[in-house]
Each structure stands twice: as structure tokens, then as C-alpha cells.
């Protein structure tokens, strides 16, 4: 799996949030699928329509990320 990169700072580490504001670390695959950093973690209850970059202030839809 190739990971998409943040269009602003070019890192692959992202996170998603749930209604309580909790974060889950994720990657976005080159096919646009959001994958948890640790495969055993559940993404249930997290909003997968928007991802946030760990390295800068960018946020957006996974489809707006860039390929390596």
C-alpha cells in the first residue's frame, strides 16, 4: 500500500476525529481508503469524510491529497 501525502507539508501521517474530539492516527492509501495506523484499532464513530495532518494545519477530504 502506498500512502498519500499531505498537499501542504508532504507527510503521510494523518488523523481523524470523533464527536468527542478524540483523535485516531491514520494513513490514506493510494486508492483513497483510510487505514488506521494500528490495524487492531477500530474506526467506528470517527468521521472519515475529513482528515487532518499531524505535521501542519492542513485539513481536507482524503481525495485532495497527493501521491508520492
Distance of alpha carbon 7 from alpha carbon 2, whole angstroms: 15
Q: How many CB atoms lie within 10 A of CB 7?
A: 13
Distance of alpha carbon 51 from alpha carbon 21, whole angstroms: 13
Distance of alpha carbon 9 from alpha carbon 43, whole angstroms: 25
pTM, rounded to two decimals: 0.90
Distance of alpha carbon 29 from alpha carbon 14, whole angstroms: 11
> pLDDT tens-digit profile of 28-60?
999 999 999 999 999 999 999 999 999 998 999
Amino acid at each position: 500500500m502506498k500512502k498519500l501525502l499531505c498537499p501542504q507539508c508532504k507527510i503521510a501521517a494523518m488523523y481523524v476525529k470523533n464527536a468527542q474530539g478524540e483523535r485516531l492516527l491514520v494513513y490514506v492509501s493510494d486508492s483513497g481508503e483510510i487505514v488506521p495506523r494500528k490495524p487492531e484499532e477500530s474506526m467506528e464513530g470517527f468521521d472519515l469524510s475529513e482528515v487532518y495532518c499531524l505535521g501542519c494545519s492542513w485539513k481536507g477530504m482524503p481525495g485532495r491529497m497527493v501521491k508520492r
